[in-house]
């Protein structure tokens, strides 16, 4: 009984100490709520917009080409009239003076790509120190040029389709002429038949020349060219036979083959003409499916971000709160001199630590009890009631694991300012390595392993799972948190016991 | 003063040739003392003389480098929780929590000592009444005066009804009136059967103790009753005499010749005719000296009484004697070495 009374002495003392600090309590409950609310209201969730300066070929500033370019650059690249230049120098000055974020230089030969047969460089220059924004600029520039390339290609494909239209006319005429050849052969008018065959050959040669001028943008085109070659060859054979007086049945066979070739080409021409140029330019497109049930997320990007980050903020807050309280706890006992009183009193290091664990754990639970309704009803964070048990266990484990590291810090440091510094370092480490902002998979395996000793790494993952996906945390999560709690307790107990020991 | 604990009273604290060293630094050296049940045992000495180290050895906070320590019949290094429950300890500084109220601090210490919840309320009020802090019980410890904080610390040391109360410089830095109240409370505790070990820098407080150990540079110079110390310091007892101013010279000559008188001095800062007469036993010598002075018609004696010199003087004398003895020993050692 006395054992319990002694442990509870610290429990009551810690609770009394903390409840005397209304500012701290208010800050712990209202602080995260207000910060998350501000984030939700203020965050647009959009990609960064880049103030863009365009350097266009001389005389093109007000051209249709530049207007089309501006339209096709997308909303990410904001180009104002004052930042369209025909000379690169003033654009670079604007970049250096931070009036624009990037400068894009379009060279004079940008429209001649298909005639020159060479790739044209679009120089993009930016002035940015932030690596995240640098990556964004690189990526957005890449997608912008991709889009421009697609647009150019789409226009070109449209032009090609128009040329396919002339091929179709040729095919119709050719089939009519072929029928005339057949009729004349049947009537024995070989000379007239030869003259028509020669007309057909000339037409075929012209179409072959036309196709040769069109870049090989589709397989349909190359099929047409080989068909025409074959037709030309067959026409040569018919012409030669007519001149040499060859057998009629053989010519009829050739004429039938020519007709079949023309019919096949006609079918291809029909298909090519009716194809959407966009399909030819981008025959594949992605359609993504997320198997994670995120239907409970808001459509408002700001709120959706708040919903995603809230469990992480709660986990980080809980860890930081517990680490700081525990880190200050033992060092304050040492600085106040109470340790001397404890050494004389019938109390052990284990009882002191256990009492403090109990007090702070209850405090953490009470804070969660006050904070969660605010988040659920104030910010619309989902809270599946069937996960209440798992939620309490995770909060308890996260609390005790965090307290453990806090007590380890407290046993290591020599002043309360050092305790605060170490707590802040742990917070900084948690922000970077727990997956709070940067996904864990972005780190090398050794850092990912290191991140696992931080309680918040498991806390934020499991709270996200619990609250957002209505999924119970994995057994590994429980074991990791339990392991951290046990190891840190043993470590802090060992170090505190050495300090507590009579000398 | 309440009666002194008899020499036969059982020993509550016993130190035998105890030395405590921290590396090359000696905190206390060869300290031997015993504290008997029911007495107020004072430890007096200048700052840094080893009083607090002695207390820490007694409470088990320090492990002695040499020597034997017994407290309540047990080596403090092997104290069980039940042994610690019998000891009340008031450290030199205020070590309770400034952001808890007086009552919350006391509740905390009560729980620390395993005081059951049942009946605790009455005990808390008893102790608060004893240290006169009932009215301040809901005030934060941070907001009470330094004297009240010392009383709160005393209450914390008493909350679990200890058999032995160890108090480290309880009156340091507080006003004389409050110091007097503290000693009244110690006397009441002694009367209630507690044994008290009290350290102090204030030599005058020695008078409140049953026995006193005088410490200097980590060692115990002597242990005696306050009167015994005074006798050791001045080599006997003192009779204060006053004669007519013009008779001073004659009286001094007469007294110096008397066989019971060791020395005669004029009292400093007193009018002419005021004399200090040093004898072995003032009670036996005073009638003889009065008789001798009254037989001389040239001397007109006005007043005679036994005189107790202040303990400050006693203490200074003892320290000077110790320094002289040490210097003599040092010189002798150097002579031997030469």
Q: Report chain B residues whose CB lies below 8 A from the CB of A17.
A: 97, 99-100
Do B60 and A344 make contact, defined as CB atoms within 8 angstroms?
A: yes
The pair of structure tokens assigned to A163 is 């040329």
User: According to the model, what pLDDT value does residue B67 have?
Assistant: 95
Considering only the beta carbons, identify the residue of A13, A346, A502 that sits closest to B63: A502
Find the distance separating the first CA and the last CA of chain B, reported in whole Å.
Answer: 52
User: According to the model, what pLDDT value does residue A301 have?
Assistant: 67
**Residue-by-residue pLDDT tens, chain B, 338 positions:** 445 555 677 889 999 999 999 989 999 999 999 999 999 999 998 888 999 999 999 999 999 999 999 999 999 999 999 999 999 999 988 999 998 999 999 999 999 998 988 889 999 999 999 889 999 999 999 999 988 999 999 999 999 999 999 999 988 878 888 888 889 989 999 999 999 999 998 888 888 999 999 998 899 988 999 888 888 877 788 899 999 989 999 999 999 999 999 889 888 778 889 998 989 888 889 999 999 998 888 888 889 988 887 787 788 888 888 888 888 888 888 776 65
* Angstroms from B336 CA to nearest CA on chain A: 39
Q: What is the DSSP string of A139-157?
A: HHHHHHHHHHHHHHHHHHH
> Residue A311's closest CA among A484, A457, A481, A476?
A457
Burial, B98: exposed, middle or buried (Cβ in 10 Å; 0-12, 13-18, 19+)?
middle
Q: Give start-end residues of each CATH 1.20.120 domain in chain A.
A: 163-276
User: Which pLDDT band, with edges at 50, 70 and 90, does A461 fall under?
Assistant: very high
User: According to the model, what pLDDT value does residue A107 have?
Assistant: 82
**A299-319: pLDDT as tens digits:** 666 677 888 888 998 999 899
Interface of A with B in 313-342 (CB under 8 A): 336-338, 340-342
**Mean pLDDT of chain A, nearest integer:** 84
Considering only the beta carbons, identify the residue of B61, B94, B107 that sits closest to A502: B61
User: According to the model, what pLDDT value does residue B190 have?
Assistant: 93
User: According to the model, what pLDDT value does residue B26 have?
Assistant: 93
* Angstroms from A30 CA to nearest CA on chain B: 23
User: Which of A15 and B274 is assigned the larger pLDDT?
Assistant: B274
Give me the CATH topology for the region A163-276.
1.20.120
In sequence order, what are the residues at sequence separation of 6 or more whose Cβ sits closer than 8 angstroms to the Cβ of residue B189?
A: B158, B165, B196
Q: Give start-end residues of each CATH 3.40.1710 domain in chain A.
A: 50-155+284-296
> Residue A362's closest CA among A74, A4, A6, A12?
A12
Bridge pairing between strands B301-307 and B237-243: antiparallel
In sequence order, what are the residues at sequence separation of 6 or more whose Cβ sits closer than 8 angstroms to the Cβ of residue B324?
A: none
The pair of structure tokens assigned to A190 is 């070989």
Do A347 and B104 make contact, defined as CB atoms within 8 angstroms?
A: no
Q: In terms of CA atoms, which chain A residue is nearest residue B117?
A: A5
Whether A407 contacts A330, CB under 8 Å: yes
The pair of structure tokens assigned to A181 is 């050849």
Considering only the beta carbons, identify the residue of B61, B87, B107 that sits closest to A503: B61
Query: Looking at chain B, how many residues does it have?
Result: 338
User: According to the model, what pLDDT value does residue B2 have?
Assistant: 47
Range A50-155+284-296 has CATH code 3.40.1710: yes
Please state, in angstroms and rounded to a whole number, the distance separating the CA atoms of residues A225 and A217.
Answer: 13
> Residue A454's closest CA among A498, A423, A493, A416?
A423
Interface of B with A in 101-120 (CB under 8 A): 104, 107-117
Residue A427: is its pLDDT beyond 70? yes
Residue A209: is its pLDDT beyond 80? no
Please state, in angstroms and rounded to a whole number, the distance separating the CA atoms of residues A453 and A456.
Answer: 9
| B34 sits in which H/E element | strand B25-36
> Residue A341's closest CA among B108, B133, B45, B163?
B108
In sequence order, what are the residues at sequence separation of 6 or more whose Cβ sits closer than 8 angstroms to the Cβ of residue B156?
A: A341, B90, B96, B105, B106, B109
The pair of structure tokens assigned to B269 is 């800062």
Percent of chain A at pLDDT exceeding 70: 89
Residue matched to tokens 């409050």? B178
Residue matched to tokens 């609770």? A15
Whether B160 contacts B88, CB under 8 Å: yes
Q: Average pLDDT in the A90-97 region?
A: 94
Interface of B with A in 154-183 (CB under 8 A): 156
CA–centroid distance for A85 within its chain: 33
Residue matched to tokens 């409470």? B59
- Whether the model clears a pTM of 0.80, i.e. scores above it, the answer is no
Neighbours of A247 (CB within 10 A): 9
User: Is the alpha carbon torsion for B40, B45, B51, B52 positive or negative?
Assistant: positive
Do B116 and A1 make contact, defined as CB atoms within 8 angstroms?
A: yes
* Angstroms from B219 CA to nearest CA on chain A: 20
User: Which of B94 and A203 is assigned the larger pLDDT?
Assistant: B94
User: According to the model, what pLDDT value does residue B234 have?
Assistant: 79
The pair of structure tokens assigned to B250 is 């004659």
> Residue B116's closest CA among B59, B161, B166?
B161
Q: Report chain B residues whose CB lies below 8 A from the CB of A9.
A: 107-112
User: According to the model, what pLDDT value does residue A212 have?
Assistant: 56
| B66 sits in which H/E element | strand B66-71
Q: What is the dihedral of CA A74, A80, A85, A90, to 10 degrees?
A: -120
Residue matched to tokens 């019919």? A263
**A218-235: pLDDT as tens digits:** 555 666 677 778 888 888
Neighbours of B102 (CB within 10 A): 28
Q: What is the CA radius of gyration of chain A?
A: 39
Q: B74 CB near a chain A CB, below 8 Å?
A: no
In sequence order, what are the residues at sequence separation of 6 or more whose Cβ sits closer than 8 angstroms to the Cβ of residue B293?
A: B241, B243, B251, B254, B255, B299, B301
Q: What is the DSSP string of B15-32?
A: EEEEEEEETTEEEEEEEE
What stretches of A275-383 show up as alpha helix (H) in DSSP? Answer: 277-281, 301-336, 338-344, 349-373, 379
**A231-273: pLDDT as tens digits:** 888 888 888 887 887 777 777 888 888 888 888 877 877 777 7
User: Which of A27 and A369 is assigned the larger pLDDT?
Assistant: A369
Out of A104-113, A293-302, B233-242, give the one with best mean pLDDT: B233-242
Q: What is the DSSP string of A467-495?
A: HHH--PPPHHHHHHHHHHHHHHHHHHHHH
Q: How many CB pairs under 8 A join A and B?
A: 92
Q: B143 CB near a chain A CB, below 8 Å?
A: no
Q: What is the ipTM of this complex?
A: 0.80
Please state, in angstroms and rounded to a whole number, the distance separating the CA atoms of residues A295 and B126.
Answer: 65
């Amino acid at each position: 009984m006395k054992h319990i009374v002694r442990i509870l002495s610290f429990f009551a003392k810690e609770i009394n100490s903390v409840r005397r600090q209304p500012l701290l309590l208010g800050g712990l409950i209202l602080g995260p709520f207000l910060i998350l609310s501000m984030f939700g209201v203020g965050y647009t969730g959009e990609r960064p917009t880049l103030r863009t300066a365009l350097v266009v070929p001389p005389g093109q500033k007000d051209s249709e080409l530049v207007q089309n370019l501006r339209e096709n650059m997308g909303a990410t690249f904001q180009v104002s009239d004052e930042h369209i230049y025909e000379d690169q120098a003033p654009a670079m000055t604007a970049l250096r003076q931070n009036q624009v974020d990037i400068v894009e230089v379009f060279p004079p030969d940008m429209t001649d790509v298909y005639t020159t047969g060479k790739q044209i460089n679009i120089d993009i220059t930016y002035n940015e120190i932030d690596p995240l924004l640098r990556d964004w600029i690189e990526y957005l520039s890449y997608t912008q040029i991709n889009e421009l390339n697609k647009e150019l290609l789409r226009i070109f494909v449209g032009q090609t389709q128009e040329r396919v239209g002339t091929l179709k006319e040729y095919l119709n005429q050719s089939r009519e002429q072929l029928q005339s050849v057949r009729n004349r052969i049947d009537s024995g008018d070989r000379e007239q038949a030869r003259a028509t065959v020669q007309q057909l050959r000339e037409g075929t040669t012209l179409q072959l020349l036309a196709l040769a001028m069109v870049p090989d943008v589709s397989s349909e085109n190359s099929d047409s060219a080989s068909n025409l070659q074959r037709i030309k060859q067959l026409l040569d054979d018919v012409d030669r036979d007519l001149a040499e007086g060859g057998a009629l049945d053989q010519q009829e066979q050739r004429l039938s083959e020519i007709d079949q070739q023309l019919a096949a080409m006609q079918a291809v021409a029909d298909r090519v003409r009716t194809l959407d140029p966009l399909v030819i330019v981008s025959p594949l497109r992605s359609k993504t499916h997320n198997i994670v049930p995120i239907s409970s997320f808001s459509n408002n990007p700001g709120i959706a971000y708040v919903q995603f980050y809230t469990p992480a903020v709660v986990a980080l807050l809980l860890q930081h709160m517990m680490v700081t309280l525990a880190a200050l706890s033992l060092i304050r006992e040492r600085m106040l001199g109470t340790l001397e009183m404890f050494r004389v009193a019938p109390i052990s290091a284990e009882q002191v630590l256990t009492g403090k664990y109990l007090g702070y754990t209850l405090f953490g639970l009470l804070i969660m009890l006050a904070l969660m309704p605010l988040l659920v009803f104030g910010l619309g964070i989902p809270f599946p009631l069937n996960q209440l048990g798992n939620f309490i266990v995770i909060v308890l484990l996260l609390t005790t694991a965090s307290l453990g590291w806090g007590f380890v810090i407290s046993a290591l440091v020599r002043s309360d300012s050092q305790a605060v510094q170490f707590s802040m370092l742990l917070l900084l480490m948690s922000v970077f390595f727990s997956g709070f902002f940067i996904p864990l998979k972005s780190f090398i395996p050794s850092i990912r392993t290191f991140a696992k000793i931080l309680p918040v790494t498991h806390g934020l993952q499991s709270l996200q799972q619990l609250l957002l996906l209505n999924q119970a945390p994995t057994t590994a999560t429980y074991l990791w948190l339990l392991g951290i709690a046990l190891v840190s307790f043993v470590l802090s107990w060992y170090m505190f016991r050495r300090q507590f020991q009579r000398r | 003063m309440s009666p002194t604990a008899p020499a036969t009273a059982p020993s509550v604290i016993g130190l035998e040739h105890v030395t405590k060293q921290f590396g090359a630094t000696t905190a206390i050296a060869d300290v031997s003392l015993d504290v008997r049940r029911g007495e107020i045992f004072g430890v007096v000495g200048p700052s840094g003389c080893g009083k607090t180290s002695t207390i820490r050895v007694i409470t088990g906070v320090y492990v002695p480098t040499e020597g034997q320590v017994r407290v309540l019949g047990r080596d403090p290094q092997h104290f069980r929780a039940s042994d610690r429950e019998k000891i009340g300890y008031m450290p030199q500084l205020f070590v309770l929590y400034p952001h808890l109220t007086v009552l919350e601090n006391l509740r905390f210490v009560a729980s620390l000592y395993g005081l059951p919840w049942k009946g605790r309320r009455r005990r808390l009020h008893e102790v608060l009444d004893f240290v006169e802090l009932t009215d301040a019980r809901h005030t934060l410890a941070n907001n009470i005066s330094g004297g009240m904080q010392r009383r709160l610390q005393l209450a914390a040391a008493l909350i679990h009804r200890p058999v032995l109360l160890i108090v480290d410089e309880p009156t340091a830095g507080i006003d004389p009136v409050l110091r007097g109240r503290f000693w009244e409370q110690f006397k009441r505790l002694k009367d209630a059967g507690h044994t008290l070990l009290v350290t102090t820098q204030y030599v005058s407080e020695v008078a409140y103790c049953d026995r006193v150990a005088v410490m200097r540079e980590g060692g115990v110079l002597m242990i005696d009753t306050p009167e015994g110390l005074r006798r050791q310091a001045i080599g006997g007892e003192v009779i204060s005499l006053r004669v007519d101013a013009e008779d001073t010279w004659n009286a001094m000559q007469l007294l110096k010749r008397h066989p019971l008188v060791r020395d005669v001095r004029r009292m400093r800062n007193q009018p002419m005719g005021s004399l200090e007469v040093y004898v072995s036993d003032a009670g036996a010598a005073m009638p003889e000296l009065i008789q001798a002075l009254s037989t001389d018609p040239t001397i007109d004696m006005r007043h005679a009484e036994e005189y107790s010199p202040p303990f400050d003087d006693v203490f200074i004398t003892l320290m000077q004697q110790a320094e002289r003895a040490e210097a003599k020993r040092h010189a002798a050692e150097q002579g031997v070495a030469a």
